[in-house]
A and B are shown apart, each in its own frame.
Chain A
Amino acid sequence: MDEPKIRIENVSYFYDGKPALRQVTLDVPAHAITVIFGPAGGGKTTLLRLINRLNDLVEGTRMSGRVLLDGEDIYAPGTDVAALRRRVGMVFALPLPLPGTVRENVLYGPRLAGVRGRTQLEEILVRSLTQAALWEEVKDRLDDPANALSGGQQQRLCIARSLALEPEVLLLDEPTSGLDPISTGKVEESLFQLKQRYTIVIVPHSVQQAARVADYAAFFLRGELIEQRVGREMFTAPRDRRAEDYITGRFG
Protein backbone atom coordinates (compact mmCIF):
# COMPACT_ATOMS: atom_id res chain seq x y z
CA MET A 1 0.00 0.00 0.00
CA ASP A 2 1.12 3.56 -0.72
CA GLU A 3 1.82 6.06 1.99
CA PRO A 4 -1.52 6.62 3.77
CA LYS A 5 -3.18 10.03 3.46
CA ILE A 6 -3.90 10.14 7.15
CA ARG A 7 -2.13 8.15 9.82
CA ILE A 8 -3.55 8.07 13.31
CA GLU A 9 -0.84 6.97 15.67
CA ASN A 10 -1.57 5.63 19.10
CA VAL A 11 -4.18 8.28 19.83
CA SER A 12 -5.94 8.38 23.18
CA TYR A 13 -8.48 11.07 24.02
CA PHE A 14 -10.25 12.05 27.22
CA TYR A 15 -13.26 14.24 28.03
CA ASP A 16 -12.95 15.38 31.64
CA GLY A 17 -10.75 12.40 32.39
CA LYS A 18 -13.16 9.92 30.78
CA PRO A 19 -11.57 8.07 27.89
CA ALA A 20 -13.27 8.46 24.49
CA LEU A 21 -10.48 6.88 22.41
CA ARG A 22 -7.94 4.34 23.63
CA GLN A 23 -4.67 3.94 21.80
CA VAL A 24 -6.14 4.05 18.33
CA THR A 25 -3.82 3.43 15.42
CA LEU A 26 -5.39 3.66 11.98
CA ASP A 27 -4.26 4.36 8.42
CA VAL A 28 -6.58 6.11 5.99
CA PRO A 29 -5.64 5.46 2.35
CA ALA A 30 -5.93 8.25 -0.21
CA HIS A 31 -8.70 8.34 -2.86
CA ALA A 32 -10.91 5.82 -1.13
CA ILE A 33 -13.84 5.76 1.25
CA THR A 34 -12.89 4.69 4.74
CA VAL A 35 -15.82 3.83 6.92
CA ILE A 36 -15.66 4.20 10.69
CA PHE A 37 -18.52 2.32 12.25
CA GLY A 38 -19.71 0.73 15.46
CA PRO A 39 -22.27 1.29 18.22
CA ALA A 40 -23.00 4.75 19.61
CA GLY A 41 -20.49 6.16 22.07
CA GLY A 42 -17.60 4.37 20.41
CA GLY A 43 -15.55 7.48 19.76
CA LYS A 44 -16.26 7.70 16.02
CA THR A 45 -17.28 11.33 15.95
CA THR A 46 -14.46 12.24 18.30
CA LEU A 47 -11.98 10.64 15.94
CA LEU A 48 -13.36 12.61 12.97
CA ARG A 49 -13.21 15.85 14.93
CA LEU A 50 -9.59 15.18 15.81
CA ILE A 51 -8.62 14.92 12.16
CA ASN A 52 -9.45 18.58 11.50
CA ARG A 53 -8.81 19.78 15.05
CA LEU A 54 -12.40 20.76 15.63
CA ASN A 55 -12.12 19.74 19.25
CA ASP A 56 -9.47 22.35 19.97
CA LEU A 57 -12.01 24.66 21.56
CA VAL A 58 -13.71 22.03 23.68
CA GLU A 59 -12.71 22.58 27.27
CA GLY A 60 -11.51 19.86 29.64
CA THR A 61 -10.07 17.45 27.08
CA ARG A 62 -6.72 15.69 26.89
CA MET A 63 -5.07 13.96 23.98
CA SER A 64 -2.02 11.82 23.45
CA GLY A 65 -0.59 10.30 20.29
CA ARG A 66 -0.18 11.82 16.84
CA VAL A 67 -2.36 12.53 13.82
CA LEU A 68 -0.37 12.73 10.59
CA LEU A 69 -1.65 14.26 7.35
CA ASP A 70 0.70 13.46 4.48
CA GLY A 71 3.27 12.49 7.08
CA GLU A 72 3.06 15.75 9.02
CA ASP A 73 1.81 16.01 12.58
CA ILE A 74 -1.21 18.30 12.48
CA TYR A 75 -0.95 18.89 16.22
CA ALA A 76 2.63 20.11 15.95
CA PRO A 77 3.07 23.59 17.43
CA GLY A 78 2.84 26.31 14.82
CA THR A 79 0.33 24.49 12.63
CA ASP A 80 -2.05 26.88 10.82
CA VAL A 81 -5.33 25.41 12.03
CA ALA A 82 -7.53 27.40 9.63
CA ALA A 83 -5.40 26.24 6.69
CA LEU A 84 -5.59 22.67 7.95
CA ARG A 85 -9.37 22.86 8.07
CA ARG A 86 -9.43 24.09 4.49
CA ARG A 87 -7.52 20.96 3.54
CA VAL A 88 -9.73 18.74 5.66
CA GLY A 89 -13.41 19.55 5.15
CA MET A 90 -16.22 18.30 7.33
CA VAL A 91 -19.92 17.62 6.84
CA PHE A 92 -22.13 17.21 9.91
CA ALA A 93 -25.02 14.98 10.84
CA LEU A 94 -27.64 17.70 10.53
CA PRO A 95 -27.86 19.70 7.32
CA LEU A 96 -26.88 23.12 8.48
CA PRO A 97 -27.24 25.85 5.89
CA LEU A 98 -25.87 29.13 7.14
CA PRO A 99 -28.12 32.19 7.00
CA GLY A 100 -28.21 33.39 3.40
CA THR A 101 -28.76 32.15 -0.12
CA VAL A 102 -27.61 28.95 -1.83
CA ARG A 103 -24.88 30.88 -3.60
CA GLU A 104 -23.68 32.56 -0.40
CA ASN A 105 -23.51 29.22 1.35
CA VAL A 106 -21.31 27.59 -1.25
CA LEU A 107 -19.02 30.58 -1.62
CA TYR A 108 -18.71 31.20 2.09
CA GLY A 109 -15.47 29.29 2.53
CA PRO A 110 -13.70 30.58 -0.61
CA ARG A 111 -14.62 34.15 0.31
CA LEU A 112 -13.23 33.67 3.79
CA ALA A 113 -10.09 32.29 2.21
CA GLY A 114 -9.80 35.46 0.18
CA VAL A 115 -11.01 34.42 -3.29
CA ARG A 116 -12.46 37.55 -4.89
CA GLY A 117 -12.62 37.15 -8.68
CA ARG A 118 -16.18 37.00 -9.95
CA THR A 119 -15.56 34.42 -12.67
CA GLN A 120 -13.44 32.34 -10.34
CA LEU A 121 -16.20 32.33 -7.71
CA GLU A 122 -18.76 31.41 -10.36
CA GLU A 123 -16.58 28.50 -11.44
CA ILE A 124 -16.25 27.26 -7.87
CA LEU A 125 -20.01 27.53 -7.44
CA VAL A 126 -20.81 25.42 -10.48
CA ARG A 127 -18.07 22.87 -9.84
CA SER A 128 -18.94 22.34 -6.15
CA LEU A 129 -22.65 21.99 -6.75
CA THR A 130 -22.06 19.63 -9.66
CA GLN A 131 -19.73 17.46 -7.62
CA ALA A 132 -22.28 17.29 -4.83
CA ALA A 133 -24.91 16.17 -7.39
CA LEU A 134 -27.01 19.21 -6.67
CA TRP A 135 -26.42 21.52 -9.63
CA GLU A 136 -29.33 20.32 -11.76
CA GLU A 137 -31.77 20.83 -8.91
CA VAL A 138 -30.69 24.28 -7.79
CA LYS A 139 -29.24 25.97 -10.85
CA ASP A 140 -32.34 28.17 -11.12
CA ARG A 141 -32.58 28.79 -7.40
CA LEU A 142 -29.10 30.02 -6.60
CA ASP A 143 -30.41 33.17 -4.96
CA ASP A 144 -33.12 31.51 -2.93
CA PRO A 145 -32.61 31.21 0.80
CA ALA A 146 -30.68 28.04 1.57
CA ASN A 147 -33.16 26.87 4.14
CA ALA A 148 -35.92 26.79 1.51
CA LEU A 149 -34.29 23.67 0.03
CA SER A 150 -35.41 20.21 1.10
CA GLY A 151 -33.47 18.36 3.78
CA GLY A 152 -31.63 16.19 1.28
CA GLN A 153 -30.75 19.18 -0.86
CA GLN A 154 -29.55 21.07 2.19
CA GLN A 155 -27.22 18.24 3.11
CA ARG A 156 -25.79 18.08 -0.40
CA LEU A 157 -25.44 21.86 -0.20
CA CYS A 158 -23.34 21.36 2.92
CA ILE A 159 -21.21 18.88 1.02
CA ALA A 160 -20.87 21.39 -1.81
CA ARG A 161 -19.89 24.02 0.75
CA SER A 162 -17.05 21.81 1.93
CA LEU A 163 -16.01 20.95 -1.62
CA ALA A 164 -15.86 24.62 -2.57
CA LEU A 165 -12.59 24.83 -0.66
CA GLU A 166 -11.14 21.96 -2.70
CA PRO A 167 -10.15 20.03 0.40
CA GLU A 168 -7.94 16.95 0.16
CA VAL A 169 -9.89 15.08 2.77
CA LEU A 170 -13.62 15.07 3.37
CA LEU A 171 -14.92 14.00 6.76
CA LEU A 172 -18.58 13.07 6.96
CA ASP A 173 -20.33 12.49 10.26
CA GLU A 174 -23.54 10.53 9.64
CA PRO A 175 -24.31 12.77 6.68
CA THR A 176 -27.55 11.00 5.84
CA SER A 177 -29.03 10.48 9.30
CA GLY A 178 -31.80 12.98 8.69
CA LEU A 179 -32.55 12.01 5.10
CA ASP A 180 -35.04 9.79 3.32
CA PRO A 181 -33.79 6.81 1.27
CA ILE A 182 -33.87 8.64 -2.06
CA SER A 183 -31.84 11.57 -0.81
CA THR A 184 -29.52 9.12 0.94
CA GLY A 185 -29.00 7.38 -2.37
CA LYS A 186 -28.12 10.65 -4.05
CA VAL A 187 -25.62 11.57 -1.35
CA GLU A 188 -23.97 8.14 -1.58
CA GLU A 189 -23.92 8.47 -5.35
CA SER A 190 -22.01 11.71 -5.08
CA LEU A 191 -19.57 10.09 -2.63
CA PHE A 192 -18.65 7.49 -5.24
CA GLN A 193 -17.93 10.28 -7.70
CA LEU A 194 -15.93 12.20 -5.13
CA LYS A 195 -13.61 9.49 -4.00
CA GLN A 196 -11.67 9.68 -7.24
CA ARG A 197 -10.47 13.12 -6.23
CA TYR A 198 -10.76 13.19 -2.47
CA THR A 199 -9.94 11.04 0.49
CA ILE A 200 -13.18 10.35 2.30
CA VAL A 201 -13.72 9.31 5.90
CA ILE A 202 -17.31 8.66 6.81
CA VAL A 203 -19.20 7.66 9.92
CA PRO A 204 -22.24 5.97 8.36
CA HIS A 205 -25.63 6.02 9.97
CA SER A 206 -26.27 2.31 9.50
CA VAL A 207 -24.37 -0.93 8.93
CA GLN A 208 -26.07 -1.24 5.54
CA GLN A 209 -24.72 2.10 4.49
CA ALA A 210 -21.30 1.15 5.82
CA ALA A 211 -21.34 -1.97 3.67
CA ARG A 212 -22.54 -0.05 0.59
CA VAL A 213 -19.89 2.63 0.56
CA ALA A 214 -16.84 1.12 2.30
CA ASP A 215 -13.55 0.60 0.50
CA TYR A 216 -11.95 0.21 3.89
CA ALA A 217 -13.70 -0.23 7.19
CA ALA A 218 -12.78 0.19 10.82
CA PHE A 219 -14.93 -1.13 13.64
CA PHE A 220 -14.93 0.87 16.88
CA LEU A 221 -16.26 -0.27 20.22
CA ARG A 222 -16.08 1.86 23.39
CA GLY A 223 -13.17 3.91 22.13
CA GLU A 224 -11.14 1.00 20.87
CA LEU A 225 -10.38 0.08 17.30
CA ILE A 226 -11.40 -3.57 17.21
CA GLU A 227 -10.92 -4.49 13.59
CA GLN A 228 -9.70 -2.82 10.44
CA ARG A 229 -10.13 -4.44 7.03
CA VAL A 230 -10.82 -3.93 3.37
CA GLY A 231 -14.53 -3.13 3.18
CA ARG A 232 -15.67 -6.19 1.29
CA GLU A 233 -13.96 -8.56 3.69
CA MET A 234 -15.17 -6.73 6.74
CA PHE A 235 -18.81 -7.08 5.86
CA THR A 236 -18.69 -10.64 4.50
CA ALA A 237 -16.12 -12.28 6.75
CA PRO A 238 -15.27 -10.24 9.85
CA ARG A 239 -12.65 -11.86 12.05
CA ASP A 240 -13.63 -10.44 15.39
CA ARG A 241 -16.69 -11.89 17.15
CA ARG A 242 -17.88 -8.47 18.35
CA ALA A 243 -17.64 -7.01 14.85
CA GLU A 244 -19.51 -9.97 13.44
CA ASP A 245 -22.22 -9.66 16.09
CA TYR A 246 -22.64 -5.99 15.33
CA ILE A 247 -22.70 -6.43 11.56
CA THR A 248 -25.22 -9.22 11.68
CA GLY A 249 -27.35 -7.19 14.04
CA ARG A 250 -27.01 -9.27 17.18
CA PHE A 251 -26.23 -6.17 19.23
CA GLY A 252 -25.81 -2.45 18.86
Chain B
Amino acid sequence: MNQPQRFRWAEFTIEALIRVLGFSTIGFVLLIFLFLLREGLPTFFEVPLGNLFGTRWYPTFDLFGTLPLILGSALVTLTAIVIALPLGVATAVFVREVAPGWARELLKPMIEVLAGIPSVVLGFFGMTVIAPLVRQTLGAPTGLTAFTGALILAYMSLPTLISVAEDALDAVPKSYRDAGLAMGATQWQTIWRVVVPAARSGIVTAVMLGLGRAIGETMAVMMVTGNAARLPLTLDSLFRPVRTMTATIAAEMGEVAQGSVHYHALFAIGIILFLMTFLINLAAALTIFQKRRRGGLR
Protein backbone atom coordinates (compact mmCIF):
# COMPACT_ATOMS: atom_id res chain seq x y z
CA MET B 1 0.00 0.00 0.00
CA ASN B 2 2.84 2.28 0.91
CA GLN B 3 4.69 1.55 -2.24
CA PRO B 4 3.74 4.54 -4.36
CA GLN B 5 4.67 6.85 -1.51
CA ARG B 6 8.07 5.20 -1.08
CA PHE B 7 8.71 5.44 -4.80
CA ARG B 8 8.03 9.12 -4.70
CA TRP B 9 10.57 9.53 -1.91
CA ALA B 10 13.20 7.72 -3.89
CA GLU B 11 12.38 9.91 -6.83
CA PHE B 12 12.63 13.02 -4.68
CA THR B 13 15.96 12.02 -3.16
CA ILE B 14 17.53 11.24 -6.50
CA GLU B 15 16.20 14.39 -8.04
CA ALA B 16 17.47 16.48 -5.15
CA LEU B 17 20.85 14.79 -5.32
CA ILE B 18 21.18 15.46 -9.02
CA ARG B 19 20.13 19.04 -8.48
CA VAL B 20 22.65 19.58 -5.70
CA LEU B 21 25.43 18.06 -7.77
CA GLY B 22 24.46 20.12 -10.78
CA PHE B 23 24.34 23.37 -8.87
CA SER B 24 27.54 22.59 -7.00
CA THR B 25 29.39 22.49 -10.32
CA ILE B 26 28.21 26.01 -10.99
CA GLY B 27 29.05 26.87 -7.40
CA PHE B 28 32.62 25.65 -7.73
CA VAL B 29 33.18 27.63 -10.87
CA LEU B 30 31.83 30.71 -9.12
CA LEU B 31 34.02 30.11 -6.07
CA ILE B 32 37.11 29.72 -8.22
CA PHE B 33 36.22 32.92 -10.01
CA LEU B 34 35.64 34.74 -6.70
CA PHE B 35 38.99 33.53 -5.41
CA LEU B 36 40.66 34.70 -8.59
CA LEU B 37 39.00 38.09 -8.23
CA ARG B 38 39.94 38.41 -4.56
CA GLU B 39 43.59 37.71 -5.21
CA GLY B 40 43.84 39.46 -8.53
CA LEU B 41 41.64 42.56 -8.34
CA PRO B 42 43.92 44.46 -5.91
CA THR B 43 46.42 44.66 -8.77
CA PHE B 44 44.19 47.07 -10.58
CA PHE B 45 44.49 49.48 -7.62
CA GLU B 46 48.13 48.85 -6.81
CA VAL B 47 49.43 49.10 -10.34
CA PRO B 48 48.41 51.95 -12.65
CA LEU B 49 46.57 50.71 -15.75
CA GLY B 50 49.17 52.19 -18.04
CA ASN B 51 51.76 50.04 -16.36
CA LEU B 52 49.56 46.93 -16.22
CA PHE B 53 48.84 46.98 -19.91
CA GLY B 54 52.30 48.25 -20.75
CA THR B 55 54.82 46.52 -22.90
CA ARG B 56 57.37 45.48 -20.28
CA TRP B 57 57.07 42.69 -17.75
CA TYR B 58 59.88 43.12 -15.23
CA PRO B 59 58.33 42.46 -11.81
CA THR B 60 61.64 43.10 -10.00
CA PHE B 61 61.52 46.70 -11.28
CA ASP B 62 57.79 47.00 -10.59
CA LEU B 63 56.97 46.84 -14.28
CA PHE B 64 53.89 44.66 -14.76
CA GLY B 65 53.11 45.08 -18.45
CA THR B 66 50.96 42.08 -19.39
CA LEU B 67 50.71 42.92 -23.07
CA PRO B 68 53.68 40.79 -24.17
CA LEU B 69 52.24 37.85 -22.26
CA ILE B 70 48.73 38.23 -23.69
CA LEU B 71 50.03 38.58 -27.21
CA GLY B 72 52.47 35.72 -26.62
CA SER B 73 49.64 33.43 -25.59
CA ALA B 74 47.50 34.58 -28.51
CA LEU B 75 50.28 34.09 -31.03
CA VAL B 76 51.20 30.60 -29.86
CA THR B 77 47.59 29.47 -29.50
CA LEU B 78 46.32 30.83 -32.79
CA THR B 79 49.26 29.43 -34.73
CA ALA B 80 48.67 26.08 -33.06
CA ILE B 81 45.02 26.11 -34.14
CA VAL B 82 45.89 27.16 -37.68
CA ILE B 83 48.16 24.11 -37.83
CA ALA B 84 45.84 21.73 -36.01
CA LEU B 85 42.52 22.60 -37.66
CA PRO B 86 43.16 21.34 -41.21
CA LEU B 87 45.15 18.35 -39.94
CA GLY B 88 42.52 17.45 -37.36
CA VAL B 89 39.48 17.80 -39.62
CA ALA B 90 41.21 15.97 -42.45
CA THR B 91 42.18 13.15 -40.11
CA ALA B 92 38.66 12.93 -38.73
CA VAL B 93 37.25 12.80 -42.25
CA PHE B 94 39.74 10.13 -43.21
CA VAL B 95 39.08 7.99 -40.15
CA ARG B 96 35.32 8.31 -40.37
CA GLU B 97 34.57 8.49 -44.08
CA VAL B 98 37.41 7.04 -46.08
CA ALA B 99 39.38 4.50 -44.10
CA PRO B 100 38.27 0.89 -44.39
CA GLY B 101 36.84 -0.71 -41.25
CA TRP B 102 40.00 -2.40 -40.00
CA ALA B 103 42.07 0.80 -40.35
CA ARG B 104 39.44 2.74 -38.44
CA GLU B 105 39.54 0.23 -35.59
CA LEU B 106 43.31 0.57 -35.50
CA LEU B 107 43.47 4.36 -35.78
CA LYS B 108 40.87 5.33 -33.21
CA PRO B 109 42.59 3.82 -30.15
CA MET B 110 45.93 5.13 -31.37
CA ILE B 111 44.57 8.66 -31.52
CA GLU B 112 43.20 8.28 -28.03
CA VAL B 113 46.59 7.13 -26.78
CA LEU B 114 48.05 10.38 -28.13
CA ALA B 115 45.80 12.32 -25.79
CA GLY B 116 47.30 10.50 -22.81
CA ILE B 117 50.92 11.56 -23.37
CA PRO B 118 51.91 13.78 -20.41
CA SER B 119 52.71 17.33 -21.43
CA VAL B 120 56.14 17.18 -19.77
CA VAL B 121 57.06 14.36 -22.10
CA LEU B 122 55.92 16.38 -25.08
CA GLY B 123 57.80 19.39 -23.76
CA PHE B 124 60.94 17.31 -23.43
CA PHE B 125 60.42 15.96 -26.93
CA GLY B 126 59.95 19.52 -28.16
CA MET B 127 63.12 20.72 -26.45
CA THR B 128 65.38 17.93 -27.63
CA VAL B 129 63.96 17.13 -31.06
CA ILE B 130 61.74 19.89 -32.45
CA ALA B 131 63.70 22.89 -31.17
CA PRO B 132 67.02 21.89 -32.83
CA LEU B 133 65.08 21.08 -35.97
CA VAL B 134 63.46 24.53 -35.98
CA ARG B 135 66.81 26.20 -35.34
CA GLN B 136 68.58 24.36 -38.16
CA THR B 137 65.87 24.41 -40.84
CA LEU B 138 64.47 27.88 -40.24
CA GLY B 139 67.73 29.56 -39.34
CA ALA B 140 66.37 31.06 -36.13
CA PRO B 141 68.94 32.11 -33.52
CA THR B 142 67.37 29.69 -31.06
CA GLY B 143 65.04 26.72 -31.46
CA LEU B 144 62.95 27.78 -28.47
CA THR B 145 60.40 29.91 -30.31
CA ALA B 146 56.70 30.64 -30.50
CA PHE B 147 56.54 28.41 -33.54
CA THR B 148 58.05 25.47 -31.67
CA GLY B 149 55.46 25.98 -28.94
CA ALA B 150 52.70 26.18 -31.53
CA LEU B 151 53.83 22.90 -33.09
CA ILE B 152 53.77 21.13 -29.74
CA LEU B 153 50.42 22.68 -28.84
CA ALA B 154 48.94 21.70 -32.19
CA TYR B 155 50.10 18.18 -31.56
CA MET B 156 48.54 18.25 -28.10
CA SER B 157 45.18 19.54 -29.23
CA LEU B 158 44.94 17.16 -32.19
CA PRO B 159 43.60 14.10 -30.33
CA THR B 160 40.78 16.12 -28.77
CA LEU B 161 40.02 17.85 -32.04
CA ILE B 162 40.00 14.61 -34.02
CA SER B 163 37.89 12.64 -31.56
CA VAL B 164 35.24 15.32 -31.19
CA ALA B 165 35.14 16.12 -34.92
CA GLU B 166 34.90 12.44 -35.70
CA ASP B 167 31.96 12.02 -33.33
CA ALA B 168 30.29 14.98 -35.05
CA LEU B 169 30.77 13.36 -38.47
CA ASP B 170 29.52 10.08 -37.09
CA ALA B 171 26.32 11.79 -35.92
CA VAL B 172 25.44 12.86 -39.47
CA PRO B 173 22.75 10.43 -40.61
CA LYS B 174 23.64 8.02 -43.38
CA SER B 175 20.72 9.39 -45.36
CA TYR B 176 22.63 12.67 -45.86
CA ARG B 177 25.40 10.78 -47.57
CA ASP B 178 22.83 8.99 -49.73
CA ALA B 179 21.16 12.28 -50.60
CA GLY B 180 24.47 13.80 -51.64
CA LEU B 181 25.49 10.82 -53.71
CA ALA B 182 22.06 10.56 -55.31
CA MET B 183 22.49 14.10 -56.63
CA GLY B 184 25.46 13.02 -58.64
CA ALA B 185 28.08 14.23 -56.19
CA THR B 186 31.29 12.25 -55.96
CA GLN B 187 32.28 10.80 -52.64
CA TRP B 188 34.55 13.78 -51.96
CA GLN B 189 31.94 16.32 -52.93
CA THR B 190 29.49 14.58 -50.64
CA ILE B 191 31.96 14.65 -47.77
CA TRP B 192 33.00 18.29 -48.16
CA ARG B 193 29.69 19.80 -49.22
CA VAL B 194 27.14 17.70 -47.34
CA VAL B 195 28.63 15.75 -44.47
CA VAL B 196 31.15 18.29 -43.15
CA PRO B 197 28.71 21.24 -43.31
CA ALA B 198 26.09 19.12 -41.58
CA ALA B 199 28.59 18.41 -38.82
CA ARG B 200 29.76 22.01 -38.68
CA SER B 201 28.60 22.86 -35.19
CA GLY B 202 30.27 19.74 -33.85
CA ILE B 203 33.47 20.66 -35.64
CA VAL B 204 33.34 24.18 -34.20
CA THR B 205 33.00 22.60 -30.77
CA ALA B 206 35.98 20.40 -31.54
CA VAL B 207 38.08 23.41 -32.47
CA MET B 208 36.99 25.27 -29.36
CA LEU B 209 37.89 22.33 -27.13
CA GLY B 210 41.23 22.11 -28.88
CA LEU B 211 41.70 25.86 -28.44
CA GLY B 212 40.76 25.56 -24.78
CA ARG B 213 43.34 22.88 -24.27
CA ALA B 214 45.95 24.89 -26.14
CA ILE B 215 45.50 28.24 -24.43
CA GLY B 216 45.56 26.72 -20.95
CA GLU B 217 48.51 24.44 -21.55
CA THR B 218 51.50 25.35 -19.41
CA MET B 219 54.24 22.81 -19.01
CA ALA B 220 55.10 21.98 -22.60
CA VAL B 221 54.83 25.62 -23.64
CA MET B 222 57.07 26.75 -20.83
CA MET B 223 59.69 24.24 -21.92
CA VAL B 224 59.85 25.12 -25.60
CA THR B 225 58.95 28.78 -26.12
CA GLY B 226 62.06 30.32 -24.60
CA ASN B 227 60.11 32.42 -22.09
CA ALA B 228 61.39 35.83 -23.05
CA ALA B 229 58.70 38.36 -22.27
CA ARG B 230 59.18 40.33 -25.46
CA LEU B 231 56.45 41.95 -27.44
CA PRO B 232 55.72 39.73 -30.47
CA LEU B 233 54.88 42.52 -32.88
CA THR B 234 57.54 42.20 -35.53
CA LEU B 235 57.03 39.93 -38.51
CA ASP B 236 59.59 37.41 -37.36
CA SER B 237 58.09 37.13 -33.87
CA LEU B 238 56.77 33.70 -34.67
CA PHE B 239 60.35 32.49 -34.87
CA ARG B 240 61.57 34.28 -31.76
CA PRO B 241 61.12 33.32 -28.11
CA VAL B 242 57.88 34.42 -26.46
CA ARG B 243 56.36 33.98 -23.06
CA THR B 244 52.76 32.99 -22.47
CA MET B 245 50.47 33.93 -19.61
CA THR B 246 50.33 30.40 -18.28
CA ALA B 247 54.09 29.98 -18.31
CA THR B 248 54.51 33.26 -16.45
CA ILE B 249 52.17 32.24 -13.67
CA ALA B 250 53.71 28.79 -13.36
CA ALA B 251 57.28 30.00 -13.42
CA GLU B 252 56.91 32.90 -10.98
CA MET B 253 54.23 31.78 -8.55
CA GLY B 254 56.67 29.65 -6.58
CA GLU B 255 59.04 32.50 -5.80
CA VAL B 256 56.68 35.32 -5.09
CA ALA B 257 55.85 36.66 -1.63
CA GLN B 258 52.21 36.03 -0.82
CA GLY B 259 50.19 39.22 -0.78
CA SER B 260 52.78 41.26 -2.62
CA VAL B 261 52.04 43.34 -5.68
CA HIS B 262 53.73 40.78 -7.90
CA TYR B 263 51.58 38.03 -6.34
CA HIS B 264 48.41 39.96 -7.10
CA ALA B 265 49.61 40.69 -10.61
CA LEU B 266 50.01 36.98 -11.33
CA PHE B 267 46.41 36.45 -10.31
CA ALA B 268 45.40 39.35 -12.51
CA ILE B 269 46.95 37.45 -15.39
CA GLY B 270 44.79 34.53 -14.31
CA ILE B 271 41.71 36.75 -14.51
CA ILE B 272 42.63 37.91 -18.00
CA LEU B 273 43.20 34.31 -19.10
CA PHE B 274 39.87 33.32 -17.63
CA LEU B 275 38.09 36.16 -19.45
CA MET B 276 39.74 35.19 -22.73
CA THR B 277 38.67 31.54 -22.53
CA PHE B 278 35.22 32.69 -21.48
CA LEU B 279 34.98 34.92 -24.55
CA ILE B 280 36.17 32.11 -26.82
CA ASN B 281 33.51 29.78 -25.48
CA LEU B 282 30.88 32.47 -25.75
CA ALA B 283 31.83 33.14 -29.35
CA ALA B 284 31.61 29.42 -30.10
CA ALA B 285 28.20 29.15 -28.48
CA LEU B 286 26.95 32.16 -30.44
CA THR B 287 28.18 30.77 -33.75
CA ILE B 288 26.44 27.49 -33.13
CA PHE B 289 23.28 29.25 -32.06
CA GLN B 290 23.28 31.42 -35.16
CA LYS B 291 23.91 28.46 -37.46
CA ARG B 292 20.99 26.66 -35.90
CA ARG B 293 18.68 29.60 -36.50
CA ARG B 294 19.83 29.93 -40.07
CA GLY B 295 18.77 26.41 -40.83
CA GLY B 296 21.88 24.43 -40.10
CA LEU B 297 21.62 21.16 -38.32
CA ARG B 298 21.70 20.63 -34.60
Task: List residues of chain A with CB under 8 Å of any chain B CB.
Answer: 52, 54, 57, 59, 82-86, 89-90, 92, 94, 96, 98-101, 108-109, 112-113, 144-148, 158, 161-162, 165
B19 within 8 A of A: no
Docked pose: A102 CA to B101 CA in angstroms: 36
Contact B295 A112 (CB under 8 A): no
Q: Which of B133-141, B174-182, B261-269 contacts A (4 or more CB under 8 A)?
A: B174-182
Inter-chain contact B175/A165, CB cutoff 8 Å: no
Interface pairs (5), CB distance under 8 Å: A84-B184, A89-B182, A89-B183, A96-B176, A162-B183
Partner of B179, one of A84, A98, A144: A98
Chain A residues with CB below 8 A from B181, complex form: 54, 57, 85
* Cβ–Cβ contact B182 & A52, under 8 A: yes
- On chain B, the residues within 8 Å of A54 by CB distance are 178, 181-182
Beyond A52-B182, A89-B182, A165-B183, whether A112 also contacts B101 by CB under 8 A is no
Q: How far is the CA of A101 from the CA of B296 in the complex (A)?
A: 9
Question: In the complex, A57 Cα to B296 Cα: how many Å?
Answer: 26
**CB closest residue in chain B, given A87:** B184
Tell whether, in the assembled complex, residue B175 and residue A94 are in contact, meaning their CB atoms are under 8 Å apart: yes
Residues of A within 8 A of B296 (CB): 99-100
The answer to whether A112 and B184 have CB atoms under 8 Å apart is: yes
Task: State the interface size on chain B (CB cutoff 8 A).
Answer: 24
Q: Which residues of B are at the interface with A, using a C-beta cutoff of 8 A?
A: 101, 175-187, 189, 193-194, 197-198, 200, 294-297
A96-B175, A98-B198 in contact; A145/B294 too (CB < 8 A)?
yes
Query: Which single member of B177, B183, B200, B297 contacts A85 (CB below 8 Å)?
Result: B183
**Complex interface: chain B residues within 8 A of A98 (CB):** 176, 179-180, 194, 197-198
User: B201: nearest residue on chain A (CB-CB)?
Assistant: A99
Do A109 and B175 touch across chains, with their CB atoms under 8 A apart?
no
> Given that A99-B297, A146-B295 are known contacts, is A112 also in contact with B183, CB under 8 Å in the complex?
yes
The reply to whether B183 and A161 form a contact with Cβ atoms under 8 Å apart is yes
The residue from A84, A112, A144, A145 contacting B189, defined by CB atoms under 8 A apart: A112
Q: How far is the CA of A96 from the CA of B175 in the complex (A)?
A: 8
Contact A82 to B182, CB < 8 A, known contacts A92-B175, A98-B194, A99-B297: no
User: Measured between alpha carbons, how far is A34 from B197 in the docked complex, in Å?
Assistant: 35
**Which single member of B178, B193, B295 contacts A145 (CB below 8 Å)?**
B295
Tell me, in angstroms, the Cα distance from A167 to B179 when the chains sit together: 15
New contact pairs (4) apart from A57-B181, A96-B175, A147-B295, CB-CB < 8 Å: A94-B175, A98-B194, A100-B197, A165-B184
Interface pair A57/B184, CB less than 8 Å apart: no
Choose among A57, A84, A100, A162 the residue with the greatest number of B CB atoms under 10 Å from its CB.
Answer: A57
Residues from chain B with Cβ under 8 Å of A94 in the complex? 175
Cα(A90)–Cα(B178), bound, Å: 9
In the complex, what distance in Å separates the CA atom of A52 from the CA atom of B183? 10
Report how far A74 CA is from B242 CA in the complex, Å: 61
* Residues of A close to B185: CB separation below 8 A: 82, 85, 109, 112
Whole-angstrom distance between the Cβ of A140 and the nearest chain B Cβ: 16
Measured in the bound complex, the distance between the Cα atoms of B197 and A122 in whole Å is 24
Residue contact A148 to B184, C-beta cutoff 8 Å = no
Bound complex: CA A113 to CA B184 (Å): 8
State the Cβ distance, B236 to closest chain A Cβ, in Å. 42
When distances are taken between beta carbons in the complex, the residues of chain A under 8 Å from B178 are 54, 90, 92
* Docked complex Cα distance between A146 and B198 (Å): 13
What's the Cα separation between A148 and B293 when bound, in Å?
A: 10
Nearest chain A residue, comparing its CB with the CB of B101: A59
* B-chain residues with CB within 8 Å of residue A52 when the two chains form the complex: 182
Contacts A59-B101, A92-B175 given; indicate if A109 touches B183 (C-beta within 8 A). yes
With CB as the reference atom, state the residue of chain B lying closest to A144: B295
> Could you tell me the distance in whole angstroms from the C-beta of B197 to the nearest C-beta in chain A?
5
